[in-house]
Amino acid sequence: MKRLRVILLFLLLGAIVNVAVAWGIAIFWASIPDEKTQRSVFYSGYGERYQNWRVVLVSKAGGARLRSDWTITVLSYYAEGPSPFKDSKDVIPWWGEYAYPSGISYDPGERTRTIDVRGWPVLSMWTGQEQRYNLELPSGISCQSHKIIAGYQIPSKLVNPNSGKPVILVLPLRPLWTGFAINTIFYAAIFWLLIPGPFVLRRAIRRKHGLCVKCAYDLRGADHEACPECGAEVPLQ
Instruction: List, for residues 59-93, the tens digit of each pLDDT value.
Output: 888 888 888 888 877 654 444 444 545 555 566 88
Strand partners, 69: 54, 112
Contact of 125 with 180, CB cutoff 8 Å: yes
Beta strands in the chain (DSSP E): 39-43, 50-60, 63-72, 109-118, 125-133, 145-149, 151-153, 170-172, 174-175
Distance CA 220, CA 209 (A): 9
Give the model's pLDDT for residue 105. 66
Give the model's pLDDT for residue 21. 96
Strand partners, 54: 42, 69
Give the model's pLDDT for residue 166. 73
**Which amino acid is present at 59?**
S
Domain boundaries, the chain: 2-182, 198-237
Give the model's pLDDT for residue 47. 45
Give the model's pLDDT for residue 120. 94
Low-confidence ranges of the chain (pLDDT < 70): 31, 33-49, 74-91, 105-106, 135-144, 159-165, 197, 225, 231, 235-237
Give the model's pLDDT for residue 39. 58
Give the model's pLDDT for residue 162. 62
Give the model's pLDDT for residue 216. 73
Give the model's pLDDT for residue 183. 96
Give the model's pLDDT for residue 79. 45
Give the model's pLDDT for residue 46. 43
Contact of 1 with 51, CB cutoff 8 Å: no
Distance CA 75, CA 15 (A): 48
